[in-house]
């Protein structure tokens, strides 16, 4: 997409474990309960310790569940990251239930929350492409395009790193970067 190539320098792709990231904030692919789950969510709570879950419970008590497409923020507990942004991606239902838009909103609301907290460096996992079964090629295009468009307008966030857990996922995000 024309006009977005200049922001590509602010987007990095790495293969690895997001719990080890040293960005100011990492994003968690949470579920609506905010009370922890498997995959990257389980890994973040295990590595970050009980403080993150305590804050998630407080948010849940104050405002209820976090619907798909929305995001909330807690401290990073024992992680190197100062903050964790918990967002809820869509569960794939074949593509006819607004999944693309919900995934886009999950990225956008995470980015907005980061900018509001003056966060300059942020790491995302591949939201929804694990247990939620969103096709990774389609998710990668949405993720890269949404982040690139946001960074084109935003003046706060200087670096967004996608931390991808396997080669197949990394390859799809690389392809999405190249076809921007
Ligand atoms: P969702 O329920 O949103 O699909 P999952 O956690 O099941 O979330 O999977 C999302 C992606 O995160 C998958 O690509 C999965 O392989 C990856 N993942 C799992 N653990 C980690 C981790 N520690 N760091 C980065 N990515 C991870």
41 is catalytic: yes
Residue 141 Cβ < 6 Å to ligand 1 = no
40-60 pLDDT tens trace: 999 999 999 999 999 999 999
**Is the pLDDT confidence value at 83 over 80?**
yes
Looking at the chain, which runs of residues are DSSP E strands?
11-15, 25-30, 71-75, 83-88, 121-124, 159-164
Q: What is the pLDDT of residues 57-66, one digit of tens each?
A: 999 999 999 9
What's the distance, CA 52 to chain centroid? 16
Task: Tell me if 87 CB under 6 Å of ligand 1.
Answer: no
4-178 CATH, one of 3.30.465.10, 3.40.220.10, 3.40.50.1370, 3.40.50.720: 3.40.220.10
Q: Does any ligand 1 atom lie closer than 6 A to the CB of residue 39? A: yes
* pLDDT over 60 at 156, yes or no: yes
Parse the chain into domains and list their residue ranges: 4-178
């Amino acid at each position: 997409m024309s006009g977005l190539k200049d922001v590509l320098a602010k987007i990095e792709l790495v293969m690895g474990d997001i719990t080890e990231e040293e960005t100011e904030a990492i994003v968690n692919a949470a579920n609506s309960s905010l009370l922890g789950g498997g995959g990257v969510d389980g890994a973040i709570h295990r590595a970050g310790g009980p403080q993150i879950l305590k804050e998630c419970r407080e948010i849940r008590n104050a405002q209820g569940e976090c619907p798909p497409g929305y995001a909330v923020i807690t401290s990073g507990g024992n992680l190197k990251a100062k903050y964790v942004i918990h967002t809820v991606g869509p569960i794939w239902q074949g593509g006819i239930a607004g999944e693309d838009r919900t995934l886009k909103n999950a990225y956008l609301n995470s980015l907005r929350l980061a900018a509001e907290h003056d966060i300059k460096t942020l790491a995302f996992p591949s939201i929804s492409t694990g247990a939620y079964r969103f096709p990774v090629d389609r998710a990668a295009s949405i993720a890269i395009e949404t982040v690139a468009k946001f960074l084109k307008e935003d003046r706060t966030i200087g670096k967004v790193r996608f931390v991808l857990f396997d080669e197949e996922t990394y390859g799809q995000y690389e392809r999405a970067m190249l076809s921007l």
